[in-house]
Amino acid sequence: MKCIKFTLVLVLSFLSLAVQAQLEQTKVTISDGISNQQLRTTIEDNLSHFLVAINNAVITGKSPAMNKEMDNSAKKYLQEMWKSSPMSCPVSMIEEICLETPNGYQVRNIPVIMMEAQEGEQEQELVIDFNRAGIITGVSVAIEQNKYKEIMAEHESVQDLARRQVIVDFVENYRTSYNRKDLKYIQSVFSDNALIITGKVIREKPKSDYALRSLSQERIVYQKRTKKEYIDNLKRVFSSNKYINVLFDEVEVIQHPKHPDIYGVTLKQEWNADRYHDVGFVFLMIDFQDEMNPLIQVRTWQPEKLEGRVLQHDEIFDLGDFDIVRSLLDD
């Protein structure tokens, strides 16, 4: 019996070492997008080091060790994400293109396993941002790749294409700010005068004996909140849940026909936390008057279903539901 136990320990130790060796070999290759060979090598090395660092941290139970490969802001974001959920990269070789952004470069589609996510939602992808020297400046959770390509393909001008890239980055950072419980970031992207609307389904009480024999009617009741009320509520949610996993799907981006600085973003949001789960439609009206610092002027949330059916497209808030007065947005 002792011999069997000893053999089992040796096998498990061997498997552990084999897994560790595979994780430590994670290597990134940039196939296209950068002509400067030295810069390409820097980005490859820094991203490879990042993935090895998170894998080693999972194995050792410590925090990822990042040095000159990542700036201080990105290190802070990574630590906040790590407190919420450690993550690892399950593949040893990654080949991706590099995209140029207004502030530097970006590599998408980096596969990771989010340890604290619910079963079936652990496999996610990261977006890694770099400055023009190849230093990592941001880490966020990506939207689905096909949806990203669809959003970018719908551009109508060079400026629209650039703004759509900013919007995707904005949405991904906005989503990741919930994962890392970053109230400061969420406060910064909302206008002080933002209109915030939340809806909930209520079931009306029957008003007659006949009604008792029929199905109860459901309706959505909407409530306005100030920015402060919204942030205060999020603060309570963040403090009472260890891990919050927010997923965005069915993302649609529309430019306002009369106000080109205004964009509407509609998405399906799945909110998973330790104590709460919901699925609904979020609409964001984003103001690009400050090109590099867009602000959310309107945020709405509606439950996905009413009377057991998914809301129709024309039942979901969009740009046409709001009168835009530029002087008010300028305040």
In this prediction, residue 199 carries a pLDDT of 84
Task: List, as one string, the DSSP characters of 31-43.
Answer: EES---HHHHHHH
pLDDT in tens, the chain (331 residues): 444 444 434 333 433 444 454 445 789 999 999 999 999 999 999 999 999 999 999 999 999 999 999 999 999 999 999 998 999 999 999 999 999 988 899 999 999 999 988 888 899 999 999 999 999 999 999 988 888 999 999 888 888 888 888 889 988 999 899 989 999 999 999 999 999 998 876 765 555 554 444 444 677 788 999 999 999 999 999 999 888 888 888 889 999 999 989 999 999 999 888 777 889 999 999 998 887 788 999 999 999 988 888 999 999 999 999 988 755 455 5
In this prediction, residue 15 carries a pLDDT of 35
Per DSSP, the chain holds a count of helices (H) and strands (E) of: 9, 15
In this prediction, residue 47 carries a pLDDT of 97
DSSP symbol at 70: B
What Å distances lie between residue 100 and 9, 39, 145, CA to CA? 49, 12, 17
- Tell me which residue has tokens 């008003």: 207
| Residue of 191, 253, 199, 252 lying closest to 226 (CA atoms) | 191
Question: Residue type for 320, please?
Answer: G
The predicted model scores a pTM of 0.80
- Residues 283, 266 contacting (CB under 8 angstroms): yes
In this prediction, residue 14 carries a pLDDT of 35
**For the segment 12-55, what is each residue's pLDDT rounded down to a tens digit?**
343 344 445 444 578 999 999 999 999 999 999 999 999 999 99
- Residues 194, 166 contacting (CB under 8 angstroms): no
In this prediction, residue 289 carries a pLDDT of 87
Which of these CATH numbers, 3.10.450, 3.30.750, 2.40.50, 3.40.1350, describes 18-142?
3.10.450
What Å distances lie between residue 218 and 202, 302, 311, CA to CA? 6, 14, 13
**Cβ-proximal residues to 23 (8 Å cutoff; 6+ apart), any chain:** 52, 55, 56, 58, 59, 88, 89, 92
At residue 292's C-alpha, the angle toward residues 287 and 295, to 5°, is: 30
Pairwise CA distance, residues 37 & 91, whole Å: 24
At residue 278's C-alpha, the angle toward residues 274 and 282, to 5°, is: 125
Q: Virtual CA dihedral for 158, 160, 161, 162, nearest 10 degrees?
A: 90
Residue 325 φ/ψ, nearest 5 degrees: -115, 110
Which residues in the chain are classed under CATH 3.10.450.50?
A: 179-330
In this prediction, residue 10 carries a pLDDT of 37
Pairwise CA distance, residues 127 & 57, whole Å: 19
Which of these CATH numbers, 3.10.450.50, 3.40.50.720, 1.10.1200.10, 3.40.50.2000, describes 179-330?
3.10.450.50
